[in-house]
Copies of this chain bind each other. A is one copy, B any other.
Amino acid sequence: MDEAALQELLGDVRSGEVDLDDAVSRLRRLPFADLGFARVDHHRALRQGVAEAVFGPGKTPPQCAAIVAELLAAPGGPVILTRAGPEQIDAALAAAPGGAVVGATVVWRPAAARTDPVAVLAAGTADRPVADECVATLAAYGFGATRLDDVGVAGLHRLLADVDVVTDARAVVVIAGMDGALASVVGGISGAPVVAVPTSAGYGAAFEGVTALLSMLASCAAGISVVGIDNGFGAACAVARILGVGAAPHG
């Protein structure tokens, strides 16, 4: 319910078409669908410009399927199912055919393709599932990210070989576990927005991603921002915000 709709409602009040009690009630009610076990938000895309995502863990396959179908039943933007197991994916695709599956992520109704160059860098091969989630989510928003895997700082020349990918990007996602040092190095060679994603990959003193998380937050390269551990989805959403997906209505 945007400002125009609010004015219309108040106009209806003035003209008497809408009863006072009813108006009070509607002023508090924005569109969503109540499935009993979930309240599906048809309003979020309008409000935030972000895709509607269904987080898999803790939901039954039928619940996943029902929420996805409900979201697709109304007009709107991309719908994403994340961290889904095979049974959840199967159920969702049966209810809503046509989703594109990448790893544990499924995307329906992706946004129109955009040309902004986005780079997604993963430090090690163990960070690939997080990069998969990030790239799939970016694709839902219409971004065809350029991806560099296995470019950790222990062999900086591997990054330097494709350094154009970094310097040309309008936004860079850096995904790393262990010491998370890749974020600082990328932040030092690029002036673009850098969104850092710590991963739970690693051993020794990686502490399930806490070390990389802290290291990225304390990066000596100014202006890096950070999302939660293994949160490739969140990083992609941050990029979508940065590149103006949500700002379109503003002009």
In chain A between 186 and 245, which residues have their CB closer than 8 angstroms to a CB of chain B?
Answer: 187-195, 201-207, 210-231, 233-238, 240-242, 245
Instruction: Write out the residue numbers on chain B whose beta carbons fall within 8 Å of the beta carbon of A75.
Output: none
Instruction: Find out whether the CB atom of A29 lies under 8 angstroms from the CB atom of B153.
Output: no
How many copies of this chain sit in the oligomeric assembly? 8
Instruction: Find out whether the CB atom of A125 lies under 8 angstroms from the CB atom of B228.
Output: no
Q: Tell which of A49, A180, A245 has the most Cβ of chain B within 10 Å.
A: A180
In the complex with contacts A28-B161, A154-B221, A158-B32, A191-B247 CB distance below 8 A:
yes
Instruction: Write out the residue numbers on chain B whose beta carbons fall within 8 Å of the beta carbon of A230.
Output: 203-204
Query: Could you tell me the distance in whole angstroms from the C-beta of A251 to the nearest C-beta in chain B?
Result: 8
Instruction: Find out whether the CB atom of A205 lies under 8 angstroms from the CB atom of B218.
Output: yes
Instruction: Find out whether the CB atom of B220 lies under 8 angstroms from the CB atom of A178.
Output: yes
Chain A residues with a Cβ under 8 A of chain B:
1, 3, 6-7, 10-11, 13-14, 16, 20-21, 23-24, 27-30, 32, 36-39, 41, 43-44, 47-50, 53, 55, 57-59, 63, 83, 123-126, 128, 149-158, 160-161, 163, 167-168, 170, 178-181, 183-185, 187-195, 201-207, 210-231, 233-238, 240-242, 245-247, 249-250
Ordered by A's residue number, 11 sampled pairs between the chains whose C-beta atoms are within 8 Å are A10-B13, A30-B157, A43-B157, A47-B191, A48-B191, A50-B222, A181-B185, A192-B241, A193-B193, A195-B225, A204-B227
- Extra pairs beyond A41-B158, A191-B241 (11, CB < 8 Å): A7-B24, A38-B150, A48-B188, A53-B222, A168-B250, A204-B227, A204-B228, A204-B234, A206-B218, A215-B215, A224-B234
